[in-house]
Amino acid sequence: MKKTKIIIIVCSIILCLVAMIVALYIYLSNSFKLNGKEKVEINYGGEYKELGTKVNLFNKDLSNKVKIKNNINNKKTGTYKVTYTLKFLFFKISKVRIVIVVDKKEPIITLKGEEKISICPDVIYDDEGYEAYDEYDKNITNRVKRSIDENGFIVYEVKDLSGNKATKIREIIREDNIAPTISLKGYSTVYVKVNSSYTDMGYVVSDNCDDSPNVEIYNTVNTNIVGNYKVTYTATDKYENKSSVTRNVVVYEEGGEGVVYLTFDDGPSGSGSTEKILNILKQENVKATFFVTSNGPDYLIKREFDEGHTIALHTSTHDYGKVYSSVDAYFADLNAVRDRVQRITGQQVNIIRFPGGSNNTVSNRYNYGIMDILTKEVVNRGYNYFDWNLTSGDAGECTTSSCVYNTVVSRLSRQRANMILMHDIKMFTADALLDIIKYCKNNGYIFKVIDETTQPIRFK
């Protein structure tokens, strides 16, 4: 009986100890907590930030006693574990946090060529290609699906192995708003003798969407009457886009016997010579042609224009080395003086004279043979150039008004048109002008200005 009692007591003590151990384990386990969620996700390639644990046992922080171990590979998708182990007395307690590495980044589709393409309405678009790349799966071009939406746009779709989807659209605009290109064969300005025949040199036409645009020609040329006419060529493609180009046809009267063209180069001059010339011309009711530069005051060009003289273009700088260094340099210089005249007069001028004339040889020092190019190119660009057949000598041989007078009157001819080269920057030329005009009037000559109907006088 006594022995049985002892056994019972011993068992009770053991049970109490077990209960105390279990209670301590439960208490310790409940005191051991994870900071944050037990299951977290991180993006592929992203950094896992440890959240740690909190252990408070009997009001004592044992967090620093916890050992942490994980097998996370952020370069590979999958499920990983972070194990937290706490050893206390004879207890060993573990907690686990689940870390899932996921790929949520969309692939990238790159289109070859433009994303927005305008093509002719009846053209089948030949896809220029595409590529698809995923940061995790790498090249997934072979997974791209291509379709056409209700707008006729091409839709490119792709999914990576993680189910992330990317979409790209190529806009195909089927339209034609580009006009045909039409250009002239031959010159843009053609000179035809009165009562002769005009033969059109034709045109060249092309279009981006139409192999054979329709061309209509509107021809106003009447070779029986002296004047300035236009031939207009209008090209229309099958989508109603239009463009036009115009050829000027000048019908002139050959001869001009007994006509005098007073032409003045290099001005205007602010030193008084140009103003004196204008005063004489006004007094004698004679009109002249001024081939101007960018020198001198604007008001003199305005006066020349207002008083009915022809304003023509000579050169902006009159610097041979600059003007004749290249074709581009020549036209840059010409455009400068053209813009000046247009600013002053409001008129766009196409009558020109080359510095030194169209057959000058001084230009060869700077660009050999450039005059062969320029004499053709100015005409192609719509300019009409004039030389002369009578020089006053004021550019070199003469230095007095009597020399200028004698040179001019000795060279005048009643059997031709006399285009006289003078320079309004020379005062001795201005001094000779009145006597020249009186001689011409007394001997039956008539004065004319150069205009668009004037027969060009050009050096061979």
CATH number, residue 429: 3.20.20.370
CATH of the domain at 238: 2.60.40.10
Q: Report whether 195 contacts 223 (CB < 8 A).
A: yes
Per-residue model confidence (pLDDT) at position 355: 97
Q: What is the pLDDT of residues 337-390, one digit of tens each?
A: 999 999 999 999 999 999 999 999 999 999 999 999 999 999 888 899 999 999
Q: Is residue 460 part of a domain?
A: no
Structural domain range at position 78? 2-102
Rounded CA-CA distance 110/92 in Å is 55
Judgement on whether residues 148 and 59 belong to the same structural domain of the protein: no
The answer to whether residue 198 sits within a structural domain is: yes
Backbone angles phi, psi at 370, to 5 degrees: -65, -30
94 lies in the same domain as 153: no
Handedness of CA 294, 299, 302, 308 (dihedral sign): negative
407 and 313, same structural domain?
yes
Whether residue 346 lies inside any domain: the answer is yes
Q: Residue holding tokens 């023509």?
A: 312
Do 272 and 369 reside in the same domain of the chain? yes
Is 452 among the domain residues? no
Q: Do the Cβ atoms of 278 and 304 come closer than 8 Å?
A: yes
Domain boundary among 174, 201, 225: 174
Residue 280 and residue 239 in one domain: no
Number of domains in the chain: 4
Residue 335: pLDDT above 80?
A: yes
Indicate whether 153 and 80 sit together in one domain: no
Q: Rounded to an integer, what distance in angstroms lies between the CA atom of residue 345 and that of residue 348?
A: 8
Same domain, 46 and 138: no
Q: Are residues 401 and 440 in the same domain?
A: yes
End-to-end alpha carbon distance in the chain: 155
Predicted local distance difference test score (pLDDT) of residue 110: 95
pLDDT value at residue 15: 77
Q: How far apart are CA 439 and CA 444, in angstroms?
A: 9
Identify whether residues 10 and 61 lie together within a single domain: yes
Instruction: Identify the pLDDT of residue 371.
Output: 96
Looking at the domain assignment, is residue 287 inside a domain?
yes
Last residue of a domain, one of 252, 284, 315: 252
In tens, the pLDDT along 225-250 reads 988 899 999 999 999 999 999 988 88
Shared domain for 70 and 147, answered yes or no, is no
Residue 454 located in a structural domain: no
- Listed residues 102, 118, 145: the one ending a domain: 102
Q: How far is CA 454 from CA 194, 258, 280, 287, 363, in A?
A: 12, 14, 24, 14, 27
Say what the pTM is: 0.58
CA distance 194 to 217: 22
Examine residue 322 and state whether it is found in any structural domain, yes or no.
Answer: yes
